[in-house]
Amino acid sequence: MKIPFNKPYMTGRELWLISQAHAAGHLSGDGRFTRQCHEWLQAKTGCRKALLTHSCTAALEMAALLLDLQPGDEVIMPSFTFVSTANGFVLRGAVPVFVDVRADTLNIDESLIEAAITPRTKAICMVHYAGVACEMEAIMDIARRHGLAIVEDAAQGIFSTYRGKPLGSFGALGALSFHETKNVISGEGGALLVNDPALSERAEIIREKGTNRSQFFRGQVDKYTWVDIGSSYLPGEIIAAFLAAQLEDADAITARRMALWERYHAWAEPLERQGLLRRPVIPADCEHNAHMYYLLLPSLQARTHFIETLRDSGIGAVFHYIPLHSSPAGIRLGRAHGSMSVTDDISDRLVRMPLWVGLEPHMDEVLESARRALASGGPEGSMA
Ligand SMILES: *Cc1c(COP(=O)(O)O)cnc(C)c1O
């Protein structure tokens, strides 16, 4: 691919900070760079405690452990998401209950959540798709009235806000991703954001193999020992040093992604008016982070033609997601509540455009190729 779908951006400071971790000789987790990342994330998101993990997937596994989910407990979530939203809960024997998404933001449809609640429901795990917030006020209200925990899969949502409040800071727990396809990266990486003070101490224990090691190093206990179930969820200092360099540059990264996003959005506006596509919808309450630019095309055939035509021009555009409710594991391990018609429809028609820092000089070519691909789409290439 001449112009790939994603190209990880590196600030240039990563190797310098890694060399400092190397020189300091502290390579396991929770050293200086991990602490620096924790403080930075706590200051930026307002969460009570940020804990670096190997991935967002690992952070969601920790969330399932912290909620003490038992076999047969249910967690309400969208089907239009990545497998990791469901996997951590399924590992505890819990059942994902899928509900449909809104046609505008492609986020979980808050008006369908209440009907999916049963006596076994323990939590709602929402995904802020494309870094655009779910309807948090309505969802928080439902959770409060039914005594349910909220877990935010904010893998795509770093630096986005809902009514000025950062994503990942609403639920009892939030999970971020620093995978190389996200805005701020460490190759593989993630963070658990703990907002419920009652979960904060146990989160440290679960992350440190079920030991009270963190309390020991703070001098709160005089020996450290096995106190709970857990696993090893913390990354080493090399990864944390890489991430620290990215976080230092996070505002500039977001600004450059935003400029690319705005360029796509302005370009697509007349095409939307001509009925050739639909653009992303950003509600007034939501400030997004330019994680993704997607287009909704009129049909599956139109999308296939579009992706193939771009590929022939050396440009990587991809679809998103195969819905979980109709995947082999989703059918076996989860359950759909009600119609999934919006999910099925958009997953056939959505295409993600390349969006990465450094794409700027290629944008004319991307947009011209996309325009030509749309124009050659034939009669199915128009919205009904
Ligand atoms: C990327 C992503 C994940 C997984 O993140 P990892 O850090 O790769 O584990 C989970 N959920 C959503 C919605 C994602 O986009």
Q: How far is the CA of 131 from the centre of ligand 1 (A)?
A: 12
Same domain, 203 and 324: no
347-370 residue pLDDT tens = 999 999 999 999 999 999 999 999
Measured CA distances, 101 to 241, 285, 343 (Å): 37, 18, 6
Residue 375 in domain: yes
Q: How far is the CA of 86 from the centre of ligand 1 (A)?
A: 11
Report which of 102, 54, 303, 63 is spatially closest to residue 202, judged by C-alpha positions: 63
Q: pLDDT exceeding 90 applies to what percent of the chain?
A: 94
Q: Is the pLDDT of residue 372 over 90?
A: yes
Same domain, 20 and 154: yes
Same domain, 254 and 180: no
Question: What does pTM read for this prediction?
Answer: 0.97
Residue 339 in domain: yes
Predicted pLDDT of residue 384? 53
* Pocket-testing residue among 54, 156, 167, ligand 1, by greatest number of atoms within 8 A of Cβ: 156
Residue 316 in domain: yes
Same domain, 236 and 168: yes
Q: Is the pLDDT of residue 164 over 90?
A: yes
d(CA 256, CA 360): 9
Same domain, 115 and 143: yes
Where a domain ends, among 192, 215, 248? 248
246-272 residue pLDDT tens = 999 999 999 999 999 999 999 999 999
Predicted pLDDT of residue 327? 97
53-112 residue pLDDT tens = 999 999 999 999 999 999 999 999 999 999 999 999 999 999 999 999 999 999 999 999
* Ligand 1 nearest atom to the CA of residue 84, by list position: 10
* Ligand 1 nearest atom to the CA of residue 58, by list position: 9
Same domain, 221 and 254: no
Predicted pLDDT of residue 217? 86
Predicted pLDDT of residue 381? 59
Q: How far is the CA of 224 from the centre of ligand 1 (A)?
A: 33
d(CA 295, CA 222): 57
Residue 264 in domain: yes
Residue 5 in domain: no
Residue 59 in domain: yes
Residue 68 in domain: yes
Same domain, 221 and 160: yes
* Ligand 1 nearest atom to the CA of residue 156, by list position: 15
Give me Rg for the CA atoms of the chain: 21
Measured CA distances, 250 to 12, 169, 359 (Å): 13, 18, 17
Where a domain ends, among 233, 248, 263? 248
What CATH number is associated with residue 367?
A: 3.90.1150.10
Q: pLDDT exceeding 70 applies to what percent of the chain?
A: 98
* Ligand 1 nearest atom to the CA of residue 81, by list position: 13
Q: How far is CA 112 from the centre of its chain?
A: 22
Q: Residues lining ligand 1, CB < 6 A?
A: 55-57, 81-82, 84-85, 127, 153, 155-156, 177, 179, 190
- The residue contributing the CA closest to ligand 1 atom 2 is 155
Same domain, 51 and 37: yes
Q: How far is the CA of 84 from the centre of ligand 1 (A)?
A: 6
* Ligand 1 nearest atom to the CA of residue 127, by list position: 13
Same domain, 181 and 284: no
Where a domain ends, among 228, 248, 268? 248
Residue 55 in domain: yes
* Pocket-testing residue among 80, 179, 243, 355, ligand 1, by greatest number of atoms within 8 A of Cβ: 179
* Pocket-testing residue among 56, 87, 184, ligand 1, by greatest number of atoms within 8 A of Cβ: 56
Same domain, 228 and 361: no
Residue 170 domain boundaries: 14-248
Please, what's the b/e burial string for 250-267 (b: 16 or more CB within 10 A of its CB; e: otherwise)? beebbebbeebbebbeeb
* Pocket-testing residue among 84, 129, 292, ligand 1, by greatest number of atoms within 8 A of Cβ: 84
What CATH number is associated with residue 40?
A: 3.40.640.10
- The residue contributing the CA closest to ligand 1 atom 1 is 155
143-162 residue pLDDT tens = 999 999 999 999 999 999 99
Same domain, 178 and 255: no
Same domain, 116 and 188: yes
Please tell me the total count of domains within the chain: 2
